[in-house]
Chains A and B, each alone.
Chain A
């Protein structure tokens, strides 16, 4: 340690340089995301290249009917869905890690995805048929309700006297197991046909995207994002300790309540539309943290960008693994996510 003291000018300089570097990193992440999205748009079994695709969007008259369908019903919605879902899950994960003060918190590890899977499975096995809701919509709605309910359960637990944030994490893990058990039970009693649907749903995939879903998810992200960013300074202080935050004027209970509300909206909507996509919500914030540090004013946007980037890359990979068909992106994220997860656990182990 050097004991050389700094003057105001050099301390200011150091701080300014730090902020500038972070702003740069955010910009770089944004550019990387745009590139990944373009590559994602340009790849697919039909072999339509990026130029043809952009030309087709600019001049619809140049296109055959098949190509129109490929662009508007496949390439664009899938690519946009990957970006939006990655953004939503990763942002939810970042907020979760901040308010639960736990690096292993994410919508996937704390049961939101499992609850959604349970909701979806129930409707797949016991179909709800009404005049105004199609079977697929009913599945999404049920998944959303269960996912949101799981976060509200977490919320209710946090209000109980004597529950610390550690017990919330344990409760989330318990929720994962209970939901998975019920889903397994449903799979056991399901007919072969239904079983296939069940399994397919639990493997998250952006191929469920359509413009309605995209619109809803985009709206949710657009509404939640500003509130989330506005809470960033308070979340940073919460990371420095609950007592400290409270005594510096942060209403911690209120912060936690609204943060959980945002988390439930983001993760439940994302999971309801595309199924279980694990690890983005866990790994995205961790990579962002390595890049821009713990200041949530940078960490939250960086997490959103990193998550989107990761899922866009996974989406590209899912088309390349088996030529001619796209593997559900949930499988890809899990395959890539598991090694990173293990790495993080070991890294954390060394710190303790």
Chain B
């Protein structure tokens, strides 16, 4: 049995419209970060939601030798956590309170339910993302980007084995984009987790992901390491742009987009 997260023959439809077509991903091993990229409407978020158990899906999702699709909501949540694109505005909860609420709502493996343990865990999550200064602030006074950081803190506080992140950097400034991705990659390496991240920023994906899966029209177009997958033909076919892939002085790949077709 292969170790890691695997998706076989996933099919997801909204009503009559099929969004994801018979999609299989190569097994994503523990300790790896995978970026899902592709144009708008390619089915990235839908696939992620299906793996999280939020969409009705035909197909098989396995974590190691466990069939996730057969699990109850609570059981699945102990292993897999999903971070939606946004945390609703206008909630009068303090940041600390909201992270603790996320921690305590259902049992988390290896975490005692005592107040002190929860507080410490929540604080460590804030520290990890570098937002302890927000601990006593109210969610309804935060900016969209700050809420996104809190949202991530809620997720990592629960120490999932699999993190599914839907555009975790979409509202963040340059500094926090890097910080968040570094934090996610750090957690993945330290605790041997599996992370699947939907990203729009290809350069961010190229820089942090061990593995890139490219989706187009609900199908897997290509998958592999950044330098294998990213090439001008892909950008022409998938994104319909003229692009060059350059290796910059610091050895990371940079995608330069010259124009649209």
Question: In the complex, what distance in Å separates the CA atom of A5 from the CA atom of B129?
Answer: 12
B73–A246 CB distance below 8 A: yes
Tell me whether A132 is interfacial, beta carbon within 8 Å: no
Residues in B whose Cβ lies below 8 Å from that of A251 = 72-74
Interface centre among A4, A14, A244, A247 (most CB of B within 10 A): A247
Q: Name the distance in Å between A233's Cβ and chain B's nearest Cβ.
A: 5
Question: Is A343's beta carbon under 8 Å from chain B?
Answer: no
A94 CB, nearest partner CB in chain B, Å = 14
Q: Is A126 an interface residue (CB 8 A)?
A: no
Residues on B lying within 8 angstroms of A by beta carbon are: 15, 49, 52-54, 72-74, 76-78, 80-84, 86-94, 96-98, 100-102, 104-106, 119-120, 123, 126, 130, 132-133, 135-136, 151, 154, 158, 164
A162 within 8 A of B: yes
Interface on chain B toward A: helix, strand, loop, or mixed SS?
mixed
Residues of A within 8 A of B (CB): 1-8, 11-12, 14-15, 18, 101, 162, 233-234, 236-237, 239-241, 243-251, 289-290, 293-295, 351
Query: Known: A14-B136, A233-B105, A249-B77. Is A240-B92 also a contact (CB below 8 A)?
Result: no
Q: Which residues of B are found within 8 Å of A18, using beta-carbon distances?
A: 94, 96-97, 136
A248 in complex: contacting residue of B93, B102, B123, CB < 8 Å = B102
A-B contact pairs, 18 of them (CB 8 A): A6-B133, A11-B135, A14-B136, A15-B97, A15-B100, A236-B105, A239-B88, A240-B91, A240-B98, A240-B101, A241-B86, A241-B88, A243-B54, A244-B151, A247-B52, A247-B164, A250-B106, A351-B90
B53–A295 touching, CB < 8 Å: no
Are B102 and A247 in contact (CB-based, < 8 A)?
A: no
B80 partner residues in chain A, CB cutoff 8 A: 247
- Which one of B15, B74, B86 lies within 8 Å of A249 (CB-CB)? B74
Once bound together, how far apart are the Cα atoms of A65 and B62, in whole Å? 77
Task: Kindly report which residue of chain B lies nearest to residue A3, judged by CB atoms.
Answer: B133
Does B93 contact A247, Cβ atoms closer than 8 Å?
Answer: no
Separation of A18 and B97 alpha carbons in the complex (Å)? 9
Contact of B82 among A7, A233, A243, A293 (CB under 8 A): A243
Contact between A247 and B53, CB atoms less than 8 A apart: yes
A130 to B104, CA, bound (A): 53
User: Within 8 Å CB of A4, what residues of B?
Assistant: 133
Q: A3-B133, A233-B101, A233-B105 are in contact. Are A294 and B84 (CB under 8 A)?
A: no
Residues of B within 8 A of A162 (CB): 15
Report A130 CB to chain B, min CB distance, Å.
Answer: 47
Chain A residue, CB-CB nearest to B73: A251
A237 and B87 contact, CB distance less than 8 A: no
Which 10 pairs of residues, A with B, have the shortest CB-CB distance? A249-B77, A249-B106, A247-B82, A14-B136, A293-B92, A249-B74, A11-B135, A243-B84, A6-B132, A237-B105
Q: How far is the CB of B197 from chain A (nearest CB, A)?
A: 15
Q: Is the CB of A243 within 8 A of B49?
A: yes
Find chain A residues with CB under 8 A from B92 CB. Answer: 289-290, 293-294
Cβ-closest chain A residue relative to B74: A249
What is the CA–CA distance of A7 and B72 in the complex, to the nearest angstrom?
38
**What residues of B have a CB within 8 angstroms of the CB of A236 in the complex?**
93, 101, 105
A243 to B155, CA, bound (A): 12
CB distance from B167 to the nearest CB of A (A): 13
Instruction: Give CA–CA (A2, B52) in the complex, Å.
Output: 36
Set of chain A residues within 8 Å of B101, measured between Cβ atoms: 233, 236-237, 240, 295
CA distance A1 to B87 in the complex (A): 20
Q: For residue A295, which residues in chain B have a CB less than 8 angstroms away from its CB?
A: 93, 97, 101
Residue with the greatest number of chain A CB neighbours at <10 A, chosen from B53, B78, B92, B151: B92
Assess whether A11 is in contact with B106, with CB atoms less than 8 Å apart: no
7 extra interface residue pairs, beta carbon distance < 8 Å, beyond A240-B93, A240-B154: A8-B123, A243-B52, A244-B82, A248-B154, A248-B158, A249-B73, A251-B72
- B118: nearest chain-A partner, CB-CB: A15
Contact between B100 and A293 (Cβ–Cβ < 8 Å)?
A: no
Asked whether B105 lies within 8 Å of A6 as measured between CB atoms, the reply is no
* Most A CB within 10 A of own CB, among B15, B86, B92, B105: B105
